[in-house]
Every structure is written in structure tokens, then in C-alpha cells.
Structure 1
Amino acid sequence: MPIVRDPLDPKISMWHFLAFCLRFWREKLGLSLTQCGEIIGVARSTVSNMEAGRRRPQDDQMRLLDKAYGTGVLFQVLLWFARMAHDPDWGRQIDKYEEEAVSIKSYHGQVIPLVLQTDDYTWAYVKTSHFKDLDATMARRVAKKKAYWDKGDALLTWTLIDEAVLMRPAGGKEVMREQLEHLLVMADLPHVSLRVIPFSSGEHMGVGGSVQIIGLEDRDVAYSGALNGGRLIESPGEVRELSITFDRIGVKAASEEASREIIKRYLEMYR
């Protein structure tokens, strides 16, 4: 049975426009998926996924296509614009990257990252969100947490949180007490590193918003959070810059053991 591709509208985003152009030029030159794959060094299925918008191409692949097709720097420039433009599908794409991740580094100064939240803590923030269907939103977040931890020690987790997160009694004292107890349990897992940035560290580079570095098998991507949204970052240069930012935030954090003691101190406040 032939493979039926998902419909692709080039007006949805620059990523869709790039995928549309990949297919248009390949067919214009009379090349098969296999032949195109040979040019950029990937399998036929990978080319098909790129043209369907299910997989995102990389710089070296676009350079090879431009050379083979005689298109100057067309595909390289399209890739640059796709990375820089707003992507309405960024949420779905970052979920896909998290599913494929081998490591995730995250910093948050306002809330405990989702994967380390108890369900009651998650619900406290879902109730304050702008989503209309709160139950559906909660179900998605719970499912995301379960999928994350189902990977076990195949997924390495490095998390930095600001001390202010521990001070904010989200959901009330009982919810926060259970949340901090949960953090201590998670912090003892061998594939989890949890560190707290204490108030005594003073100013640091994380005040602008949350940061996430997603390590894939062949590269890293990143997410920079901000109020009312954020941006998925795939440009290697920008990802490196954000990785450096994460490391510089981490310099201000307490050690893993000292971080446990900070969490325990706040836990006593909620008993």
C-alpha cells in the first residue's frame, strides 16, 4: 500500500514552506526520494519525512542540495529563515524532541519544571492557566510526565531551580510539602541532578526566563521561555549560546548535597 502523506500547507509556517520547496525541486529535477537521499546521505524515508514536515533538515544537508541542484544558497537561506521565524507548531515539535531526547537540561526561576511536579502541584498551576478545558490540559501534562519517566535512566536530567520557587506555596502548604518531599526523592535518582540557586548567590543570568537544552543523539536543540510564550531554537550557534547561558546560571547554584539541605529547610516550613 502506498504511503499517504499528511497534507502540507506551505502558508502555515516557514518550516512547511521549506518542506514544500524540498519536494517541489526534487520532483522538478525528476529525482526519486532514494536519489535525493543519496545526495544528502540519508535514507529514502528520511527524505520523505523532511518533505512531509515530520523531520527537520540540517545545514550540511541543505548545502549538499544547493550544490547538487544548482540553487546557490536557496535551501540554506530557507533553513535559516525557518529557524528564525515564529513556528505555530513549536509546541508539538518540542514534544517530539523531548520524546527522542537522551538528556534534558532545564532552568526555571518561577515554577518547578513539569517533569518534577506532583500532580497536585501541576493542577494548582493548570487552574490558573488561560486554557478553557482544564481537565484536558491536566491530562496532557500528566501523560507527558509519565512518558518522560518511563524512559528511566536512558534520559539524563539536569535541573536548576531558583530558591524563590521553593518559597512560593503553590496549591497551599500541604501540596507544597508533598512537592518538596517529591523533589528529594527525585534528587536521589542516579540519572537526575537537581540544584538550587540560593538567594545568597545574588544576581544571575536566569532572570530573563526559563531555559531548556534538549540533547538528541546527533545534536542539541533549545527552548527559551518568556511570558506568554517562548521560542524553540535549532540554529547550532544559538543553541551553543543558550548552553553557555545554562552553564553560567549553574555556576551560581549550590551543590547537589547543599541543594537537598535547602529543600529540607523549606520542607520544615510547610509541615
Structure 2
Amino acid sequence: MVHINVLDPSASPLDYYGFELRRHREAAGLTQKQLGGIVNYTGSLVGQIETARKLPTPEFSERCDAALDADGLLSRLVGLVLRSQLPVWFQQVAELEARANEICTFQTHMVHGLLQTRAYARAVLGVMDRENLDDRTEVRLARQRILEKDEPPVLWVILGEAALHQEIGDGPEVMRGQLAHLLAYETHPYVNVQVLPFTAGAHAGLQGSYNLYRFPTDPSIVYTEGYGQGHPTANPTTVKDCSLRYDHLQAAALSIADSAKLIRHMMEERYGGHPVA
């Protein structure tokens, strides 16, 4: 007798997803292997996702929605599932990203998660902890889907020049790909990347990296981060101070066009030219 793991759909977003995937598959009269063949994944993977032992990806969800005529249900659920897998202290930040109509971030030494490539994100997340690295990488990349919304937030990114020099990943091709990814946003209407050069000297962001989230009606929120903990605040004095600091950082940073020139120069001179397609 085959013992089927029956999920409690109220246990977690991942359990709910698995429950709905199985319900739609069985309604379609398909085995796990048959569905896997249709969506170009293994039947074993389908089974692992149905039993909440493996995270679904947005691509898997879109294919299953189409194969099972699920009217986009799984694609709507997958964002909730992936967000629920973030560290508890970071889940609020992902919600802020999803609700904000404008995000301003200053990063001193690393590319912000919303603009990281898969290889770069994997290298960052794998430092001192490689457990479930594939799933954790998928969870981080899933946050970037907010940039694909019909009405995405305006994203302002100021990178300290050190972020271009800090070689992250196994080999220069990771940084080539990451810098090329930044250049792909050079003319993007909603994503703006500026570099704060070393020549700027003392600047308004010397206290460290931070994010500023703005909303259509709710108060703005400033978010700073430490080791294993985050600090969001809507304190008006803090928000006003960080907003003013951001204005000064933008003024001290290179223009978007000049930033792209510097990024391109770094990619070609430091990391060996254009990334391999």
C-alpha cells in the first residue's frame, strides 16, 4: 500500500502550495511523473514539492499553472511561499519591498539583493553556511519579481565604489556577470544605479548602508541591518535625517551615465571584459 503524505494546508504557505498542487494534479488525472514530463521536471521533484520537502520556483509554478489550467493560482502563491522562507527577522523587509512605490538604498560594499545575479547571490549567501543554498538563493532571487510588476517601484541604488572592487564569487566571471547585470539597467525607467566614487571622500553615508522605503499613503520607513537582525523604523526624525543624507549621497555620487562608464571600465579592466553569454 502506498502511504500518501496528506498535508495540512493551514500549516504553512509551503504546505498550502503543496496541497493545491496535488489537488489540481489529481483533478487533471495526472500522476506526478506525467505532470513532471509535461512541465519538464522530474516526477520526484513534483512529489517533493507536493509534500512540502522542496521549494517551488516561479518557473515551475508558471508551467504547472498552464499544464493544470490552474488560472495562475500557483504563480500567485509562490511569492508568498518563498517570502515565508526568509529569516523571520527579514520577512518584514520583503513585505516593505513588495508594498513600496519607491526604494532608495545605499550599499557600501555589496550589490543590493534586488539587483544580484544568481551566481553573486549564491556566493554571498554561501559564506559560512552552505546548507540549503539552492533554496535560499531562489528565495533571494524571488524578491526581484517586484521589478517585473505592472507598476514596479522606483528603485534608486547608490553603490560605494568598493562594491565594484570586492571580488565576490568563484572566479572573475561572477563579477563580470554581476557588473554586466547592473549595466543592463542603464536606461531602465524605474531602476537607477549610481556609484559613489572613492574620490568623494568623507560623505553622508559613512555610518553605513541603509534602505529607505516610501509608500503612497503610509509613513516612510528606514531600514538598517546588523548580523542576524534588522532594524526598521518609522521615527520621523530618523526618516528625515536619512532622507537628507540620501539627497547628499546622490549629489556626491556619479551621474547614472558616468556610473555606467565606471562600471563598464571595472568590468573590462578588472574582471576580464564582457561576460560569456
Q: TM-score range by the shorter chain?
A: 0.5 to 0.7
Q: Which amino acid aligns with 1:158?
A: W
Offset of residue 101 of structure 1: 0.9
Offset of residue 237 of structure 1: 2.4
Partner of 1:160: 158
User: Does residue 94 of structure 2 align to residue 92 of structure 1?
Assistant: no
Alignment CA distance shift 1:209-1:229 (3 Å): farther
Alignment CA distance shift 1:222-1:96 (3 Å): same
Rounded to whole Å, the distance in 2 between the matches of 1:92 and 1:228 is 12
Rounded to whole Å, the distance in 2 between the matches of 1:266 and 1:183 is 12
Partner of 1:259: 259
Q: Please, which runs of 5 or more residues in structure 1 have no aligned partner?
A: 1-5, 7-87
Q: Which amino acid aligns with 1:258?
A: D
Partner of 1:175: 174
Offset of residue 224 of structure 1: 1.7
- Superposed CA offset, 1:194-224 (max 9, x none): 1101111112132322111111111311102
The correspondence of residues 204-219 of structure 1 with structure 2, limited to 5 A, is 204-218=203-217, 219=219
Aligned CA RMSD, in angstroms, stands at: 2.0
| Preserved CA contact (<8 Å) 2:186 2:192 | yes
Offset of residue 244 of structure 1: 1.4
- Superposed CA offset, 1:131-178 (max 9, x none): 743233212102112x22222553111110011100112112101111
Partner of 2:246: 246
| Preserved CA contact (<8 Å) 2:205 2:249 | yes
| Preserved CA contact (<8 Å) 1:160 1:197 | yes
Q: How many residues align?
A: 184
Rounded to whole Å, the distance in 1 between the matches of 2:161 and 2:135 is 31
Alignment CA distance shift 1:167-1:110 (3 Å): same
- Superposed CA offset, 1:5-24 (max 9, x none): x9xxxxxxxxxxxxxxxxxx
Higher helix share: 1
- Superposed CA offset, 1:29-62 (max 9, x none): xxxxxxxxxxxxxxxxxxxxxxxxxxxxxxxxxx
Partner of 1:123: 122
Partner of 1:61: none
Residue 160 of structure 1 aligns to a residue whose secondary structure is strand
The correspondence of residues 11-50 of structure 1 with structure 2, limited to 5 A, is none
Alignment TM-score, normalising by the size of structure 2: 0.62
| Preserved CA contact (<8 Å) 2:161 2:198 | yes
Rounded to whole Å, the distance in 2 between the matches of 1:132 and 1:198 is 36
Alignment TM-score, normalising by the size of structure 1: 0.63
Alignment CA distance shift 1:164-1:225 (3 Å): same
Alignment CA distance shift 1:129-1:223 (3 Å): farther
Rounded to whole Å, the distance in 2 between the matches of 1:155 and 1:245 is 21
| Preserved CA contact (<8 Å) 2:126 2:133 | yes
Partner of 2:51: none
Residue 154 of structure 1 aligns to a residue whose secondary structure is coil
Partner of 2:135: 136
Partner of 1:234: 234
Q: Please, which runs of 5 or more residues in structure 2 have no aligned partner?
A: 1-10, 12-86, 273-277
| Preserved CA contact (<8 Å) 1:209 1:225 | no
- Superposed CA offset, 1:110-141 (max 9, x none): 10001111111101111105474323321210
